[in-house]
Amino acid sequence: MRAEAPAARLRLLDGPTVAALLEPAAVRAAVAEAFALHSRGEGRTFPVVREQLAEGVFGIKSGAVPAQALLGYKSAGFWPANRGRGGEPHQATIVLHDPATGRPLCVLDGNAITSARTAAAGAIGLQRLARPGSRALCLFGTGVQARAHLAEALRVLPALEQVRYCTHRGQPDAAFESAFAGRCALQFAPDADTAVAASDVVITATPGAGVLFGLGAVRPGTHINAVGADTRGKRELPEGLLARARLVVDDRSQARQLGEAQWAPELPCTEIGALDDAARAPETITVFDLTGLALQDLAVARMVLASAEAQGLGLDIAWPW
C-alpha cells in the first residue's frame, strides 16, 4: 500500500515583498558565502541555458549546495519590447526545491534579487580590488543594474566623491540624476575616454552591445567591474585590456564562455571566492568579470525565504503531492 503523502505547502513571494527583504549588508554576506562555497567546490553549478529568441534572450541558471540542503534555479532573460508595454525588460523567477524530495518550496520574483545580488557581487569586487581611497568613479549605463551598482559603490567606497556617467544616447539622464541627488557629485560625461581616464573605478553596466571606451583611456591602478557581458558575443571592454590587467572572475569556465573573458579565454584568471588578501599593487589594473552564479541567486533567495517565513509574509498555499 502506498504511504499517504504528508501535507505540503508552497510559499509565493512577489516583487514588492522580496524587495523589502533585501537588506544590502545581508545580501553581500550571502553572495560572499556563495562565492566561497563555489571556489571550495562545496556548491554545484549546473550547465547554463542561454538562448537567443526572436523576442529576446532566455536563460536558466541552476545549482545546489548539498551540505546546506539548497537546490533550485532561476529562469531569466531580457525582453526589450517590454519597455514599449510599460514593463521591465529584465524578467526573472527563482524556484527553491527540497533536495530530499524534489518538491518546490518557494517561488520568488527574481528581478529584485538579480539586481541586488549582482550589485552585491560588484561591491565585493570593489572592496577586494579597488584601491583604498578611490574617489572618482565612471559609470556606463543608467538603468536598473547601473543604479544598483552605483548605490552599492557609494556604500562600500567611503572616499567616493565624484561620479561621472555615460549613456548610450550620449545625452544626460534627468531621472537618473534625480535618483542620486545629494548622494554624490554626479556629472554627465559626454566623452567616455575622458571620463575613464579621470576615474579610479569604472563600472560597465550596459546590455553589452559593444566596446565602450578606448584602451588608452585606462590609467594604471584603475579597477573595472565589468557587468554587461553575460552572453556569447557580448562585450564592453576594449581589445587588449584583459592582457594588461589582473583578471578576476566569479566562475572561470562561465566567464570564458559568456563574460568578457570569452574574448581572451587563454588568459589566467582568479575566482573571487579564492582571492587571497595579498596587498594590491597600486599600479595594477584589475578587472572583475561578473557573469552571475546560480549560487548567488539561491543563497539570497534562501535568505529572503527565511525572513518571509519569520515575518509571516507572502502567500502560503497548499501544494498537494
Residue 228 is given by DSSP the state: S
* Cβ count within 10 A of residue 67: 9
- Average pLDDT taken over every residue of the chain: 94
The residue-averaged pLDDT of 4-23 equals: 91
Separation between Cα atoms, residue 80 and residue 78, nearest integer Å: 6
Active-site annotation holds for 74: yes
* CATH for the 131-291 domain, from 3.40.50.720, 3.20.20.80, 3.40.50.300, 1.10.1060.10: 3.40.50.720
Helices 111-129 and 294-311 meet at what angle, rounded to 10? 120
pLDDT-derived band at 8, boundaries 50, 70, 90: confident
Task: Give me the amino acid identity at 78.
Answer: F
E runs forming strands in the chain: 9-13, 44-45, 49-52, 57-65, 70-78, 90-97, 104-109, 136-140, 162-166, 185-188, 201-204, 223-226, 246-249, 270-271, 286-289, 315-318
Q: What is the pLDDT of residues 26-55, one digit of tens each?
A: 999 999 999 999 999 999 999 999 898 999
SS3 222: coil
Cut 0.85: pTM above it: yes
Q: Please, which pLDDT band fits residue 90 given cuts at 50, 70 and 90?
A: confident
Can you tell me whether residue 96 is helix, strand or coil?
Answer: strand
Alpha-carbon span 86 to 270, nearest angstrom:
40
Closest CA to 115 of 79, 151, 140: 151
Question: Which amino acid is located at 223 in the chain?
Answer: H
pLDDT value of position 4:
66
Cell triple for residue 133?
581611497
Summarize pLDDT for 218-253 with one digit per residue, the tens: 999 999 999 999 889 999 999 999 999 999 999 999
Distances 74 to 105, 126, 300 between C-alpha atoms, Å: 14, 26, 12
Calpha distance 281→286 (Å, rounded): 10
**Catalytic choice (11, 28, 38, 74):** 74
Cα dihedral 284, 289, 294, 297, rounded to 10, equals 80
Under 8 Å between Cβ of 52 and 317? no
Plot region of 56 (φ>0 → left; ψ -120 to 50 → alpha; else → beta): left
Q: What is the CA radius of gyration of the chain?
A: 20
pLDDT in tens, 102-131: 999 999 999 999 999 999 999 999 999 999
Tens of pLDDT along 161-215? Answer: 999 999 999 999 999 999 999 999 999 999 999 999 999 999 999 988 999 999 9
Which sequence spans correspond to the domains of the chain? 9-113+295-318, 131-291
Q: State how far the Cα of 3 lies from the Cα of 234, in Å rounded to an integer.
A: 52
CATH of domain 9-113+295-318: 3.30.1780.10
